[in-house]
Structure 1
């Protein structure tokens, strides 16, 4: 119980000075016990579910604007692709990002460590299986994005 009070205090302290990206990460970490018990199940968006079913299916509309729209939808879900150059950060921003990642990582380790027999609980509750489904959907989305980019290149479409 003392550990959970410490976790809640740390989460509140971190969220007070965090950016919106870090705040969403802290909220995600705070929901870890609910996901571990399979009470809160992460949703798989429709675009990723479709990619999971048929990652190499030819799109119904194959014109450049339609392909770009599908690509944008996947980029919104998956984040930037590997071929998108990262923005340059100055040392202050890099230090702030590193400190934020270290703090949220420590919070995540504390939350996960506060749950006894976490691995078994995840397996027995079905949370491990659900987590694997989400990871497979993310991978399928990345594969679908690569397929769409190849299709766009073959059609001489420019990626917007």
Structure 2
């Protein structure tokens, strides 16, 4: 009987911890989504290295790469805000002043370890990436991301300068 009561108390405590954990996960679903995305990114790296898998570049980033400082077709505040929203979808959220960066040291160590293990699978990885075209494709993607960031900042500045009230 005492053992049954003790087990009941343990089960109730475990249920409470599980409920608390579920509430935490529901409150911050982005954290788990980011972890999954990083894990998939790390795991698929060898496929990208040999050219089997490729990343698709968003059309908005292709446009930004072509000319990040053009205002062609963007005359109104609504058009400017719409373009910034498209860039936000492709790039992720913009920098927010005063936003505290929360980083897990254990998570970063696990990520670095995972990348090290996965990247060691392919011998002469750098050479393989150049031959397969993965390295030039990554350089192009990075250039497009940089152009997208520059374009978003430029458009936000124009939006501000025109005293627009529309939201991004």
Give your verdict on TM over 0.5.
Answer: yes
1:19 counterpart SS class: helix
Distance, in Å, in 2 between the alignment partners of 1:49 and 1:118 is: 27
Cα displacement (A) at 1:83: 4.5
CA shift in 2, pair 1:61/1:46, >3 Å: same
TM-score (norm 1): 0.78
TM-score, reference length from structure 2 = 0.74
Report the equivalent of 1:75: 88
How large is the Cα RMSD of the aligned pairs? 1.8
Q: Which runs of 5+ in 1 are unaligned?
A: 1-17
Q: Which runs of 4+ in 1 moved over 6 A?
A: none
Supply the distance in 1 between the matched residues of 2:84 and 2:97 (Cα, whole angstroms). Answer: 13
Matches within 5 A, 1:107-146: 107-146=114-153
Aligned equivalent of 1:21:
34
Q: Choose 1 or 2 for highest CA Rg.
A: 2
What is the deviation of 1:43?
0.8
Distance 2:94 2:58 in 1: 18
Question: What SS is found at the alignment partner of 1:38?
Answer: coil
Q: Aligned partners of 2:75 and 2:109: how far apart in 1?
A: 44
Q: Does residue 62 of structure 1 match 2:75?
A: yes
Give 2:112's aligned residue. 105
1:157 to partner: Cα distance: 1.2
